[in-house]
Structure 1
Amino acid sequence: MISWAQVVQTAESIAAIQQEDGGVPWPEGHVDAWNHVECLMAMTVAGLEEPVERGYGWLADRQRPDGSWPMKVKDGRAVEHGGESNHAAYVAVGAWHHHLVTGQEPGRLWPMVKSALDFAVDLQTERGEIVWERDALGRAATYALLTGCASIHQGLRCGVLIADRLGDQQPHWELAADRLAHVLAAHPAAFADKSRYSMDWYYPVLGGALRGPEAAELLEREWSTFVVPGLGIRCVSDQPWVTGAETCELALALDALGDHERASALFADMQHLRHADGSYWTGWQFANRRHFPHERSGYTAAAVVLAADALSGFTGGSGIFRDVRASSTDPASPLCGCLPQYDPS
């Protein structure tokens, strides 16, 4: 486990790369809303109020009328103009987390959250999955991504909590989350095949769509495929490459199931990626014994801070992943494949 002082140092390494306009970039320089929000969450844990405020200002300034953000922003301008559903939905996770950590009411972020979640829900199919983007011409994508939808599920659950707290109920979000959880749990074939990526393995647990024995069985199923003892987990199944962010996210998923022992062990395993300044290398290519890519990323540092908080309980937001509730119903759609009248043609 890392200490509170080390957590703060890691969050400060994120603040050090924040751009003047408030955006928190990838190593190559672009900003996307999902990774940006995750970095704001990490800085919120550490109490870095000023960079967090600038970061939420960046989101407010760049949200488009349809509720989305450009897929990539570089040097202050959009360079990829489509809007991703999971980028939009993650803003609700950040807003609820901010409330849990700081005690500040989420009302000031509510208009942004409401518009963003409505953008995501508008991309839900009749079967229940949510397609991954709406392109620059306003056309919805033809397929959905499992990892993205699992993250959207968490965003919808957090959005419902914000709505309930503010007395502005949004029952269509809860219905959308229930339908999405059903497809994630029962119909993985509804999503594009990205099974070589570890995120598609554990994200249904991380995002709260799966809990209990079913979730535990899912993690056991591919454990030996992705987990490299002593180092962390592979980003992709067919490469000798472990990555810090994915390892921390799997630790968060395990913690959400109450498996604190294995979560803590994984978190300890990935500490070989820590740099002296508190930042983290993105990954380690263990066949060549080199950092790959040769970069230290803000999103990896953010995942470390969030995992450390979950495992040590430093803040009131430590349960942001653990406390996502799975659906209490089984809202099978006639188009999902569960009901007799389903016609795949």
Structure 2
Amino acid sequence: MPDVPEVPGVLDAAEVVATGRSIAAAQEESGAVPWFSGGHVDPWDHVESAMGMAVAGLVTEAERAYEWLRTTQRPDGSWPLQVRDGRVEDEGADTNFCAYPAVGVWHHVLLTGDEAFAERMWPVVRDAIDFVLTAQRERGEIDWAVGATGEPAGEALLSGCSSIHHSLRCALALAEHLGRQQPSWEVALGRLGHVLRRHPEAFTPKGRYSMDWYYPVLGGAVRGADGARRIAERWADFVVDGLGIRCVDDHPWVTGAETCELVLSLDALGDRDRARELLAAMQHLRDPDGSYWTGYVYADGKRWPEERTTWTAAAVVLAADALSRTTPANGIFRADALPTGLPLDNVPCCELEDVPS
């Protein structure tokens, strides 16, 4: 098992292990990881928590989480949007949530080198991605949800599609690793990358949310000079010096998970100094047991909401791994060696040739 990451002056290895254990403490007997003990489970945050536990050395606990995904996947390849104590609370399916297991599975393969795990989880990833792509529109965007009756939501979200972009790249990496070529996924990824870079009108406006600001960078669709420009444009709107970043630009609260995702985005752009500063800044959310409070209202000095979430803790661990370059999976958000999909040239909807970032 690889070493546990540490970021000198910010987090040491023992603290990272404690954070991993705080996630595992909320894990249910079934392997599911809810937002917090007694909270609900969704596939995206469940996977993020599995990744965090694995990086912290809790591989057995992480594999229990992946086994929960394998045994609860529905025949169409999806998972319910929300489950609590094994009971489905929302039967709809969020396409981003259903795509994200591809990231977790590829992360775990990179981390452990476990070929049996890769083979066992391949059908899960294959069926999930095929389900997600049923909601892709001709231009390339993907509706954010599919209802219980199978109808797409009719609305695409920039942050969700950016995350799916990353998931598709990880799914293709797994497919190539196992020798299961998926040319239709390559086409879908090319179309999605194109619409993310060139067609902001395809997405429901959510500009007040920080996720719409940095997620095209985090998901790998926008990098390089374009990515740096995107981050610079709204830095002052979201970053609160010494505390982290706002979830929304019109309320005085900072949130830990979004701050750590921006850390990962900056690391992907090579902006490591500011990334480290932000990881250090959000440590005021750390509890003595290693868990992390979700957010902080700096206008009145109160925690909000009053919960310590597993996925916030996981985001901290993943950010520490990326910055420290510790485990073999530390570059998954930098998209190290991930497939880029089929480039789209001479797209009829654009006058300019689309060149992958």
Which residue, out of 236, 239, 242, partners 1:224?
Answer: 236
- Contact 1:251 1:307 survives alignment (8 Å): yes
Of 63, 68, 72, 2:78 maps to: 68
TM-score for both structures, normalised by structure 2: 0.92
Note the C-alpha offset of 1:328: 7.4
What does residue 258 of structure 2 align with? 246
TM-score (norm 1): 0.95
Structure 1: gaps of 5 or more residues: 341-345
- How far apart in 2 are the matches of 1:39 and 1:318? 15
Q: For residues 79 and 346 of structure 2, what CA distance do their matches in structure 1 show?
A: 31
Distance 1:136 1:63 in 2: 14
CA distance in 2, matches of 1:6, 1:313: 17
1:286–1:100 CA distance, 2 compared to 1 (3 A): same
Q: 1:286 to 1:161 in 2, by over 3 A?
A: same
Aligned mate of 1:8, from 9, 14, 17:
17
Which residue in 2 is equivalent to 1:279? 291
- How far residue 332 of structure 1 moved from its aligned partner, in angstroms, is 6.3
CA distance in 2, matches of 1:242, 1:189: 28
CA RMSD of aligned residues (A): 1.4
Q: How many residues align?
A: 338
User: Structure 2 regions of 5+ residues with no counterpart?
Assistant: 1-9, 353-357
Return the alpha-carbon distance in structure 2 between the equivalents of residues 84 and 111 of structure 1.
19
From 126, 136, 146, the counterpart of 2:158: 146
Calculate percent identity across the aligned residue pairs: 57
Q: Which amino acid aligns with 2:106?
A: W
2:224: which partner in 1?
212
Deviation at 1:88, TM superposition (A): 1.1
Amino acid at match of 2:120: R
Give matches, 1:155-234, under 5 Å: 155-234=167-246
- 2:327 aligned with 1:315: yes
Q: 1:264 aligns with which of 250, 253, 276?
A: 276
Q: What corresponds to 1:38 in structure 2?
A: 48
- Aligned structure 1 segments of 4 or more residues deviating by more than 6 angstroms: none
Q: CA shift at 1:138, angstroms? A: 0.8
Q: Does 1:24 find its partner at 2:38?
A: no
- In the alignment, is the contact (CA less than 8 A) between 2:187 and 2:341 conserved in 1? no
Tell me if the contact between 1:233 and 1:242 (Cα under 8 Å) persists in the aligned partners. Answer: yes
One-letter amino acid matched to 1:209:
A
Corresponding residue of 2:343:
329
Q: Which amino acid aligns with 1:186?
A: R
SS in structure 2 of the partner of residue 78 of structure 1? strand
Q: Is the 8 A contact 2:189 2:342 kept in 1?
A: no
Choose which of 236, 242, 249 in structure 1 pairs with 2:248. Answer: 236
